[in-house]
Structure 1
């Protein structure tokens, strides 16, 4: 087993090559008077050479959002652009699948470029990181919200004891932590809230998080898929082998560690690839990690609008993601038309994969699969 910790056992900084590959901030769009927030000043100080451009709102940036021509610069914008804004509307939304609640976002967008990501569908041809700088208001809201819930009355698929808050619905917290201390503040908050825990999925190994003190109050869900598929669709993410190598270290650092098998992409030979991945996880983790593992299994949902965007910057990924011979239209809860794998094939494939997990990784319970 390979550790991501230095030899002295202390947490390391994010490797320079990784940070440079993901972020080279040249422009920062910001709302008026954003410097009144200490968190905004921290980010501005972190990127002192970046051009600062004032905009009326983080949601309406002329030339960035809604500009179809930006598709050709998809990755460059993610690497070079940052947005600072204030999160004005705070609410925790019921979820009851991966988490009990979706917390108010402290960031939106991502420096990585997974070609199946749903967030760009809403942002319009560009998806850089937006940092919400009123972090004290957000953490205060969450503290009060958790207090109002009281003791969780009964176990559910989210957690047997704690109320679970997803803190990374629209971003990857491991990347966000490279830009500001918002994630550190959230981890510290949930370390001291007695009846709740934070949760986020990630495709990046950020060793800085090992220096936090989560005390079991944060669940990190490492997203995994077979390496060959990941190389095509998980653009600018950590290697699958590196994510597996990180599992033991994050458990040792005080995190609860789960697995996010998502999205499951069906292609010729897909189940054989998943068998190999599950064996890699079993061989690459110690018994302590295995005993606390749980997983969620989510098969691919795609969207014609995103398909059209992806054709402009990464058509190779669409050879895996866009399979009309295997997919059918289905309207989402939000009213959008998406494509999902055909029934009843999907039901059979879900059963085949969950059966495989039970054989190859028997200590890992499947929290839900669809």
Structure 2
């Protein structure tokens, strides 16, 4: 019989993807002009989990052992569990449970369902998970309510097996590998659907190994991941063969400063994008979630000018953009209000259009006229301000 607060760490848990511009003291930092941008001088922001645990199954894998050694080398104690279940996460209130879970990293084996890859339109052919969860605090978290349980960050020890299994999916996708408009990308694998790679890379080394795996893979394939962090030092100079596209999730100042907690400042993210682009990586922007603020044209115009400065003078620039408007579901709204009861994020069903997704799921999006206006503006302004940028999709 298990403890009432036991959580099976080899089952999907709620996650909350990354981000927010604060300095080391926790104070907000205003967005600055990026003209003459150089790589960020300040040390990269890194998460130190309050608790790290490893399951017995995870310790049977070489990469699980590597993660343990990596974590311990940073002076962080690793608790070896007696079973593949995690206790001590749930608190007296939802807020306490949330805080405990967000401070916990569990080294586990991926559930069998994670090894059966699923399409991830419109981003990529296939979703491949190397971890689930992240330490950031986005008040608009798009996964809130879609997964169950406390938002513990789980990193997968069976990385070698996960990467070895990807070959069976090459050439089989429909989003890029069989799409004439994006066929140059080859078969694409999205590795940040449920996590933020740069939030965890210093603790796991998983995405560096994935970049090397794709560089050695002699096939028309591409690894893709997106981040709200800027800790790219270990990727600069790494042989990548142009088969990894790193995208940086960015937003205008009122959104990034107010709603993206615990991540790198937007200028630092753009400086990191520049560093990788100069190192020959295909790079990208994930502008998300686009929020129709009263002065959205001015604010997003400032962001696009920052992007223009960040990529100025980069030779052979390969830059894409993915444009994602803000939406929410009844379930995600309930979870987010539990996590962030004082949020100022607009989630008013009366001002939105109700849509039905797959399997009848309800989501609230901007009305058609607002969506059309946003899309027309972003399409025109990206072409004018950052003409080298190719828009992959709008949603």
TM-score where L is the length of structure 1: 0.85
Q: For 1:187-206, list aligned pairs within 5 A.
A: 187-193=211-217, 194-206=219-231
Aligned length: 351
Runs of 4+ in structure 1 displaced over 6 angstroms? none
Q: State the shift of 1:305 in Å.
A: 2.3
Q: State the shift of 1:68 in Å.
A: 8.4
SS in structure 2 at match of 1:116: coil
1:219 and 2:239 aligned: no
Q: What residue number does 1:28 align with?
A: 53
Q: What residue number does 1:4 align with?
A: 39
Q: What residue number does 1:237 align with?
A: 263
Q: State the shift of 1:362 in Å.
A: 2.2
Q: For 1:1-370, list aligned pairs within 5 A.
A: 1-4=36-39, 15=43, 18-19=45-46, 22-28=47-53, 30=55, 32-48=56-72, 49-56=77-84, 61=86, 64=89, 69-89=93-113, 90-103=115-128, 105-124=129-148, 126-146=150-170, 156-193=180-217, 194-206=219-231, 207-288=233-314, 291-317=317-343, 319-370=344-395
Alpha carbons 2:277, 2:317 under 8 Å: kept: no
User: Structure 1 pair 186/47, CA: closer, same or farther in 2 (3 Å)?
Assistant: closer
Could you tell which deviates more after superposition, 139-148 or 255-264?
Answer: 139-148
> Structure 1: how far apart are the matches of 2:143 and 2:222?
24
Q: State the shift of 1:336 in Å.
A: 2.5
Could you tell which deviates more after superposition, 119-128 or 171-180?
Answer: 119-128
Q: State the shift of 1:247 in Å.
A: 1.9
* CA RMSD after TM alignment: 2.7
What residue ranges of structure 2 are gaps of 5+ in the alignment? 1-35
SS in structure 1 at match of 2:382: helix
Could you tell which deviates more after superposition, 337-346 or 87-96?
Answer: 87-96
More helix by share: 1
TM-score where L is the length of structure 2: 0.80
Relative contact order higher in (CA < 8 Å, ≥ 6 apart): 2
Alpha carbons 1:125, 1:309 under 8 Å: kept: no
SS in structure 2 at match of 1:179: helix
